[in-house]
């Protein structure tokens, strides 16, 4: 008798339907191509909208396959527990990932590690084997373009603040040349030198002083060895700076949305000098900590002072009322959109120079983009406009940081307590978008355990509660990932580099039983399992961590998690020669008491040692906070108060015990 087996499984394996393995059954297999095609959890790029025809119908870039590719199957017809489902990537015999249904869901997911995702144009299909009928279904094969290389390749000199693989020139205008109305009347040609991984449907985004020209690379241009010519029209030139230095640069976006470079996406700035409108005031000077600059590295200069220096002629006599300076930043954001940032007007003190400060938060919002800064000189009955200066802003673009989870110690979450997940401020944000918290465990074979909590985004900094019942689903599984997704519901042009669904950075943790190997912490003023804030004098309360086995270099993490708002504190302590082997006694702000009044407080600590690698956790101190409870003597209502005796005839229908204590709260 023969049994249908998953490819590359032995007969012995086939008789054990473990996760990721096809179930064995002695029925005849029938394959029908009636399964809905699996799809990328993060919307793939529609290649049918590309300017030049592509062989594939869907595209996936770096953001789709970074660390893993996540594939989704909609629940199929005639679904059963223990149905086998698999994803095949360019291999009709061997699945890239597979799993067996273990619970009823609307959809099922498979994870394929990045190293197992083929590059190029590949065939993708799903396979299903129903356990009850042994009927086998497959989805129609679809051609995907998988591309995890960047246009321009890897930057060979990361010390330069530009992508060294991207080089441009301007035909007829050497760097530093003057442009004026006469020599730009018919427009200008920019020459893009051939770059690594050039491909048809690459989009060259050329910035003429902050105004973008987009050129799609043709198959012929991709195949030829010469430079790619990009035309800049007179209309574009007239929108850029009209007096002062012009900054020209470009980046490349391929058909699946990969940009050239990570931190440094753009080519080195190519500068020209504009005399298109000599009637303008001199362009302003951009200053970083008092020094002139045309580029901000926000990773290194986030705490710097950013200013604009406006130059105006002094007036004699000094005007009354004083003139004013109005500075505006005309920004091109990282996603190619434009936004103006008008700064508050300032008084021109008639000194010839006026300093105007730009908020750090404004500069931070422009990482990955650029801005042109100019100013208006405001007089009571007229105004004058200055030329402009272009500034690029580079840095590591983190628009959707990871969540924070509490309580947690050294990556371990206690499954017997609810946790609070706090979403950070992120960009872009809209209160009406769908925001989904995701908790995800990725099985080695490709399956998953998944929990989602969708709701409208509402205000920034949302807080979600994950119950202990939910956490039990992940107890003991291994590394679990917390993140959030945002769906703006907007349609996208091919290769736009943005998705309807955006994913945040991940927060990794484990959910499991806490094994206590260090003694319970001690808090000043505790009586039994309660602490009354009124009994603790002063602005702080002493916390003692009594473990005496510490060594120099150990790191102690302590947590005071309260039930009230702003009632939690945590920090770390680096053990040195003076504190090694000693109990640690230190003051903690009494807000952990005052802000948890009539609530609860949970205190614990953990030890982290690097050599040898060691993690220890303490017992947990669980306290109530408030006036201590006074227990009174219980009373059996059917008993005789004078003799403390109960007549059996008085309790034929049972007895009632009256419990009394002070104070009694509604929440008890």
The total of structural domains in the chain comes to 6
What is the rounded average pLDDT of the residues 562-578? 88
240 and 311, same domain (yes or no): no
The pLDDT, as a whole number, for residue 498 is 44
The pLDDT, as a whole number, for residue 24 is 45
The pLDDT, as a whole number, for residue 28 is 45
134 and 21, same domain (yes or no): yes
Residue 577: pLDDT over 80: yes
Strand ranges (E), 82-149:
84-89, 97-100, 107-113, 120-129, 135-138, 142-146
Which residue from 140, 135, 85, 142 is spatially nearest to 110, judged by alpha carbons?
85
What is the rounded average pLDDT of the residues 32-44? 92
Most confident of 216-220, 391-395, 652-656: 216-220
Residue 122: pLDDT over 80: yes
196 and 314, same domain (yes or no): no
The pLDDT, as a whole number, for residue 161 is 83
pTM of the full structure: 0.70
3-state secondary structure 339-387: EEEECCCEECCCCCEEEEEECHHHHHCCCCCEEEEEEEEECCCCEEEEC
Share the mean pLDDT of the chain: 88
What is the rounded average pLDDT of the residues 29-40? 85
Residue 216: pLDDT over 90: yes
What is the rounded average pLDDT of the residues 645-655? 78
The pLDDT, as a whole number, for residue 495 is 40
The pLDDT, as a whole number, for residue 453 is 95
Whether 6 maps to a domain, the answer reads no
pLDDT band at 5 (very low <50, low <70, confident <90, very high): very low
pLDDT band at 650 (very low <50, low <70, confident <90, very high): confident
Q: Rounded to an integer, what distance in angstroms lies between the CA atom of residue 294 and that of residue 274? A: 16
Asked if 264 contacts 161 with a C-beta cutoff of 8 angstroms, the reply is yes
Whether 98 maps to a domain, the answer reads yes
29 and 140, same domain (yes or no): yes
pLDDT band at 628 (very low <50, low <70, confident <90, very high): confident
Whether 28 maps to a domain, the answer reads yes
The pLDDT, as a whole number, for residue 643 is 67
The pLDDT, as a whole number, for residue 151 is 96
The pLDDT, as a whole number, for residue 365 is 87
The pLDDT, as a whole number, for residue 631 is 78
pLDDT band at 329 (very low <50, low <70, confident <90, very high): very high
The pLDDT, as a whole number, for residue 666 is 63
Q: Which residue has the tokens 């009586």?
A: 527
Q: Rounded to an integer, what distance in angstroms lies between the CA atom of residue 615 and that of residue 279? A: 70
Strand ranges (E), 501-645:
501-503, 507-511, 516-518, 522-523, 526-527, 530-531, 540-545, 555-562, 569-574, 584-589, 600-609, 614-618, 621-625, 630-631, 635-636
Tens digits of residue pLDDT in 159-191 = 788 999 999 999 999 999 999 999 999 999 999
219 and 299, same domain (yes or no): no
Whether 447 maps to a domain, the answer reads yes
The pLDDT, as a whole number, for residue 490 is 64
Whether 161 maps to a domain, the answer reads no
Which residue from 495, 480, 444, 396 is spatially nearest to 63, judged by alpha carbons?
495
Whether 299 maps to a domain, the answer reads yes
616 and 649, same domain (yes or no): no
Domain boundary among 354, 369, 394: 394
Tens digits of residue pLDDT in 336-352 = 788 999 999 999 999 99
Q: Give the 3-state secondary structure of residue 252.
A: strand
The pairing of strands 516-518 and 614-618 is: parallel
491 and 607, same domain (yes or no): no
Tens digits of residue pLDDT in 490-530 = 654 444 444 467 888 899 999 987 788 999 999 999 998 99
142 and 32, same domain (yes or no): yes
Structure tokens belonging to residue 322? 């004083």
Phi, psi of 509 (to 5 degrees): -155, 175
Which is higher by pLDDT, 410 or 204? 204
The pLDDT, as a whole number, for residue 665 is 67
pLDDT band at 11 (very low <50, low <70, confident <90, very high): very low
What is the rounded average pLDDT of the residues 90-114? 92
Which is higher by pLDDT, 592 or 629? 592
Whether 1 maps to a domain, the answer reads no
118 and 199, same domain (yes or no): no
Judged by average pLDDT, the poorest of 14-23, 189-198, 601-610 is: 14-23
Q: Which domain holds residue 643?
A: 630-662
Instruction: Give, in degrees to the nearest 5, the angle at Cα 82 between 78 and 88.
Output: 85
Instruction: Give, in degrees to the nearest 5, the angle at Cα 99 between 94 and 102.
Output: 160
The pLDDT, as a whole number, for residue 155 is 84
pLDDT band at 475 (very low <50, low <70, confident <90, very high): very high
What is the rounded average pLDDT of the residues 82-98? 93
522 and 503, same domain (yes or no): no
Residue 323: pLDDT over 80: yes
Domain boundary among 231, 252, 275: 275
Whether 163 maps to a domain, the answer reads no
The pLDDT, as a whole number, for residue 318 is 94
The pLDDT, as a whole number, for residue 15 is 35
Q: Which residue has the tokens 């680096």?
A: 574
Q: Which residue has the tokens 């590394």?
A: 479
Q: Rounded to an integer, what distance in angstroms lies between the CA atom of residue 428 and that of residue 334? A: 11
491 and 536, same domain (yes or no): no
Residue 335: pLDDT over 80: no
35 and 140, same domain (yes or no): yes
CATH number of 441's domain: 2.60.40.10
The pLDDT, as a whole number, for residue 3 is 31
Beta-bridge partner residues of 434: 456, 487
Domain boundary among 250, 275, 300: 275
CATH number of 83's domain: 2.60.40
């Amino acid at each position: 008798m023969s049994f249908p087996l998953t490819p590359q499984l032995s007969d012995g394996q086939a008789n054990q339907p473990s996760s990721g393995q096809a179930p064995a059954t002695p029925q005849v297999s029938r394959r029908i191509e009636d399964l809905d095609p699996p799809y990328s959890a993060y919307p793939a790029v529609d290649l049918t909208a590309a300017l030049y025809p592509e062989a594939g119908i869907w595209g996936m870039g770096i953001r789709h396959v970074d660390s893993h590719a996540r594939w989704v199957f909609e629940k199929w017809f005639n679904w059963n527990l223990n149905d086998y489902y698999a994803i095949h990537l360019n291999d009709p015999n061997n699945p890239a990932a597979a799993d067996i249904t273990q619970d009823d869901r609307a959809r099922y997911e498979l994870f394929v590690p990045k190293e197992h995702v083929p590059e190029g144009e590949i065939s993708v299909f799903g396979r299903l084997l129903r356990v009850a009928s042994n009927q086998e279904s497959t989805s129609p094969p679809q051609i995907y373009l998988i591309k995890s290389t960047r246009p321009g390749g890897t930057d060979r000199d990361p010390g330069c603040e530009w992508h060294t693989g991207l080089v441009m020139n301007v035909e007829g205008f050497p760097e530093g040349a003057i442009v004026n109305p006469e020599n730009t009347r018919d427009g200008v040609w920019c020459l893009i030198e051939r770059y690594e991984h050039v491909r048809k449907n690459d989009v060259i985004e050329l910035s003429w002083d902050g105004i973008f020209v987009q050129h799609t690379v043709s198959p012929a241009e991709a195949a030829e060895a010469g430079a790619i010519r990009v035309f800049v029209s007179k209309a574009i030139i007239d929108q850029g700076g009209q007096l002062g230095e012009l900054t020209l640069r470009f980046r490349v976006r391929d058909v699946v949305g990969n940009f050239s470079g990570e931190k440094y996406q753009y080519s080195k700035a190519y500068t020209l000098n504009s005399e298109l409108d000599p009637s303008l005031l001199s362009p302003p000077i951009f200053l970083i900590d008092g020094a002139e600059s045309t580029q901000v590295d926000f990773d290194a200069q986030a705490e710097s002072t950013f200013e604009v220096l406006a130059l105006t002629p002094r007036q004699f006599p000094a005007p009354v009322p004083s003139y004013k300076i109005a500075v505006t930043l005309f920004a091109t954001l990282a996603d190619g959109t434009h936004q103006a940032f008008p700064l508050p007007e300032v008084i021109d003190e008639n000194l010839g120079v006026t300093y105007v400060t730009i908020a750090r938060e404004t500069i931070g919002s422009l990482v990955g983009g650029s801005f042109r800064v100019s100013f208006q000189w405001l007089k009571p009955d007229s105004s004058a406009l200055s030329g402009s200066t272009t500034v690029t802003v580079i840095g590591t673009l983190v628009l959707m940081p990871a969540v924070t989870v509490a309580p947690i110690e050294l990556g371990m979450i206690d499954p017997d307590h609810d946790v609070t997940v706090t979403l950070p401020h992120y960009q872009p944000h809209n209160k009406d978008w769908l925001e989904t918290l995701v908790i995800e465990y990725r099985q080695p074979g490709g399956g998953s355990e998944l929990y989602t909590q969708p709701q409208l985004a509402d205000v920034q900094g949302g807080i979600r509660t994950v119950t202990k019942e939910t956490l039990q689903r992940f107890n003991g599984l291994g590394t679990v990932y917390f993140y959030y997704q945002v769906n703006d519901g907007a349609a996208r042009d091919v290769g736009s580099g943005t998705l309807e669904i955006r994913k945040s950075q991940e927060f990794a943790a484990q959910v499991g039983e806490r094994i206590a190997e260090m003694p319970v912490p001690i808090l000043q003023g505790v009586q039994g399992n309660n602490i009354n804030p009124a009994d603790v004098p002063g602005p702080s309360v002493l916390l003692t961590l009594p473990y005496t086995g510490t060594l120099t270099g150990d790191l102690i993490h302590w947590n005071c998690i309260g039930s009230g708002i702003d009632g939690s504190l945590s920090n770390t302590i680096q053990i040195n020669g003076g504190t090694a082997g000693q109990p640690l006694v230190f003051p903690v702000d009494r807000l952990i008491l005052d802000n948890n009044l009539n609530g609860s407080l949970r205190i614990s600590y953990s030890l982290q040692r690097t050599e040898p690698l060691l993690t220890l956790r303490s017992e947990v101190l669980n306290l109530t906070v408030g006036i201590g409870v006074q227990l009174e003597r219980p009373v059996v209502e059917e008993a005789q108060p004078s003799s403390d005796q109960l007549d059996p005839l008085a309790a034929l229908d049972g007895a009632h015990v009256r419990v009394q204590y002070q104070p009694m709260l509604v929440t008890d």
